[in-house]
Amino acid sequence: MLAYHGRFPHSDLPARAKYTWPQGKTLAVYVAINIEHFPYGEPCGVDLDRTTQPWSQRSWLWREYGNRIGGWRLVELFDELGLPAGVIANTANYEHCPALIAAHRARGDELIAHGRSNAERQIDMAIDEERTMIAEVTAHMRRDDGVRPAGWLSPYLTPSLHTTDLLAEAGYGYTLDWGICDEQPFWVGAGERRILSVPYPIELNDQPAVVYRRNTAIDYADMIVDNFDEMRERSRDTALVCAISLHSFIMGQPFRARRLRQALRHIAGHRDVWLTLPREIAAYYETLPEDVQLRA
């Protein structure tokens, strides 16, 4: 038999109990904006559009575009459409571009923990080193945001075998690390504890779609609309979560932002869906009857 993580059982969607989101809505939609920073001049960070070199100023500057220009363009776009955003941010950005983080904080957006920097991968860390890093990130965000983060996404989606346990130990309510495999939340075992998995996209994520698969701005915008429309129809049978993941240095580019606006305006025009944040999805899911929830 193949090795298995043992944190939750396999679950077929048609066999699950039915439920709805607030006000009887059946599709929850959230948009995540990823804000990243890297140390300058050190071998780190994936060189997204070609084979990664030991170090690349060009790649560093690409991310910096997101922190100086693209991130602000997305803030303006979300203000224009009246949409909330889940902001997945390295704490390095709190020091490097604090005004951008403050702008999201002022909007009431959710700040989601994303490690200290995308130069670090948790899968490469010893357990004590990872525990210390999680504690530092949590304390940093609690101090600057005035509230501890509810959720976590590991940089590059590369958690270690210990990450889930350490997040539950540190008091996190949910993680996005496991969410790729489902369109509903589910509980993940974490030793004697548990932590909620909230859906997170790998397909409807601009980094693999635009950078790796070379989808155009029009392609990606069409993907967002088609994915939303299909999930809206499918959710008539059971509640689902439609998650969209953006990066400030990718979708903040003018020609992509223009197409993104059209796609998000289409979503915002449907008031029969729940336009929300990951923490709100997690909080509501926990209020559902225990026999409805997917147990670890």
Mean pLDDT confidence for 130-156:
97
Could you give the C-alpha distances from 213 to 62, 106, 210, 228, 243, in angstroms and in order?
A: 18, 35, 6, 20, 19
The confidence score (pLDDT) of residue 49 equals 58
- Measure the CA–CA gap between 246 and 252, rounded to whole angstroms: 9
The confidence score (pLDDT) of residue 152 equals 98
The confidence score (pLDDT) of residue 47 equals 62
Residue pLDDT, tens place only, 242-270: 999 999 999 999 999 999 999 999 999 99
Residue pLDDT, tens place only, 71-93: 999 999 999 999 999 999 999 99
Could you give the C-alpha distances from 10 to 50, 161, 180, 185, 188, in angstroms and in order?
A: 36, 19, 14, 13, 12
**How does residue 230 score in pLDDT terms, banded at 50, 70 and 90?**
very high
Least confident of 6-10, 30-34, 49-53, 134-138: 49-53
Residue pLDDT, tens place only, 6-38: 999 999 999 999 999 999 999 999 999 999 998
The confidence score (pLDDT) of residue 53 equals 67
Percent of the chain with pLDDT over 70: 96
Q: Which fold has domain 19-285?
A: TIM Barrel (3.20.20)
- Measure the CA–CA gap between 63 and 43, rounded to whole angstroms: 15
Largest pairwise CA distance in the chain: 53
Residue pLDDT, tens place only, 193-228: 999 999 999 999 999 898 888 999 999 999 999 999
Strand partners, 270: none
Entry field: residues in the chain = 296
User: Cα 169 from chain centroid?
Assistant: 21
The residue ranges of every structural domain in the chain are 19-285
- Mapping DSSP to helix (H, G, I), strand (E, B) and coil, where does residue 87 land? strand
The confidence score (pLDDT) of residue 56 equals 78
Percent of the chain with pLDDT over 90: 86
